[in-house]
Amino acid sequence: MIERLGMRLEDTDESTFTPAMKLAALNTAQISLANMLHNAYLTELQVFDEDETVTTGVYALSGLDHGVLKGAMGIQRVVDSSTGYDLTMMDISDVRKNKNTLQKATVNNPQCYIYQSSIYALPTSITAIDVYYLRVPATMYAAYTATGGTQTTILTTDTQLTTDGHSLSQVADYYNGAIIYNVTDGAYFKVKDFAYANPTYTFTVDDPGAGTAGANAETFYILTHGFDTLNLDGVTCQLNQALHNTVVSLAEAECWGMVGKAGFSDRRAAALSNAYKEVEILNARYEVERPTGIGTDRKGR
């Protein structure tokens, strides 16, 4: 995606737009696109956290493993962990209806609403919920592949580490203090020692206490020390591959907006127009092809 964006910007030699600028633009673009698209196109962002503790009927969304995309619209389903019953989602304006005996939430007919970044479950006797939601797209970093490791080391001979002229240093201790994120295991480590012995880069990290810091074929990011601009060929986007072109269009517009030069505003407008048209087409297409639901026609009746 970085290379494609560079070609769109006619700046493959990075004389105007630095790798960091392009990466920042791509990260902004993927979130913007996800916010504009119908949820049906965002299946790669669907996640769920189970058995989340509810206190007196309230659960703060900050307790979820990931940030929630689109706020309340990103909460797709809430289930009572104890009974397995779905909580009927309602607008806060309908809460007053719970005063009506016939419409009041019960254990067998639970309900919930979102207010101030929290889920309010009714009845308040519910103690745990499973939350299905759309997560904020993962920040794009350069992805590397480990070739081995131990409890305290991550080894790699990933040839992509030296692509694009952004080579890793081979100087001992050069990357001490860097932060590594093992994507496969979902764990963070701080580098205590770095060494290179052709062809292997060895990162010695804080003892995780159990398991291994790295193993063959596991994916990891290096989050600090400017590593997020290395190996830009390896940058990946969490959204469906079919949406990557639109992400690049939005990122192109973002880049043109960063540089206040004559003529760039027109190019920004053109890139935005292309992206918005694609979004409009996709959202309109869903309305035509969406599932009809059980016992309903395409008009929802």
pLDDT of 262 reads 67
292 occurs within a structural domain: no
Strand partners, 77: 132
SS3 label, residue 26: helix
pLDDT of 183 reads 79
Number of domains in the chain: 2
Q: What is the pLDDT of residues 222-280, one digit of tens each?
A: 776 555 444 454 566 889 999 999 999 999 999 998 887 667 889 999 999 999 999 99
Q: What is the pLDDT of residues 84-122, one digit of tens each?
A: 999 999 998 888 877 777 788 899 999 999 999 999 999
For the chain, count helices (H), then strands (E): 4, 14
The parent domain of residue 210 ranges over 141-234
CB-based contacts of 282, cutoff 8 Å, min separation 6: 37, 38, 41
Residues counted in the chain: 301
**CATH code, domain carrying 159:** 2.40.30
Last residue of a domain, one of 234, 249, 270: 234
pTM: 0.72
| Least confident residue range of 7-21, 25-39, 149-163, 260-274 | 149-163
297 occurs within a structural domain: no
Please provide residue 154's backbone torsions phi and psi, each rounded to the nearest 5 degrees: -125, 125
Last residue of a domain, one of 234, 256, 286: 234
Of 146, 142, 168, nearest in space to 155 by CA: 146
